Amino acid sequence: MKFFVDTADVAEIKSLAASGLLDGVTTNPSLIAKSGRPMLEVIREIADVVPGPVSAEVTATDHTTMMKEAHKLHAIGRGRNDNITIKVPLTPDGLRTCKTLAGEGVMVNVTLCFSAAQAILAAKAGASFISPFIGRLDDIGEDGMVLIDDIVQIYRNYPAFKTEVLAASIRHPMHVVDAAKIGAHVVTVPPNILRMLFNHPLTDKGLDAFLADWKKTGQSIL
């Protein structure tokens, strides 16, 4: 499973990238707004830090303007890692834009997916990634993980579909584990959730015991 981090905080991205566990980044207009910085500047800086896919979302809702924004965003990656993935909403214009960009060899992340039917359309449009929103479905009393399971099963039935399932709207570590068990290709998580994956009280307890025993020996490896 690939790990993407869902943030526009460049300091956080640099810190997590240093761990060697980060495969990509997803952003959106809301996350960019929280940074308080110009969108293109933030995307450019992230693209320099992370060699893997960096999702940059268009803000237009019509196909023509989406294409103009997509080309401007995609140009940021040229001469660097060529890693900008254009993020489009799962709407008729968004899928039309996805189809056109895919034909140009541009990676596309289709976002705001809430049904398996939508995911089929995204795959038909040539999306590189489909982003089903687990947490938002859970919020309205549905089981978001069922959607992940449905999409993974459908895509497996059709080898011609190259779209990767990118589990999004992750709220806790078990979302990550459950998505991995089902077979999601990618998970995108907020920085705090990614760090939670390291934690277990027995790990901390065991390490404390090892260090206490070592201290008693009075030895040093160096």
Q: What amino acid positions are annotated as catalytic residues?
A: 87
SS3 211: helix
Q: How far apart are CA 158 and CA 154, in angstroms?
A: 7
Smallest CA-to-CA distance from 168 within 26, 10, 22 is with 26
Q: How far apart are CA 84 and CA 48, in angstroms?
A: 10
Whole-Å CA distances, 124 to 30, 37, 112, 117, 159: 28, 35, 16, 11, 12
Whole-Å CA distances, 131 to 41, 75, 114, 115, 212: 24, 23, 9, 11, 46
DSSP letters spanning 88-110: EESSHHHHHHHHHHHHTT--EEE
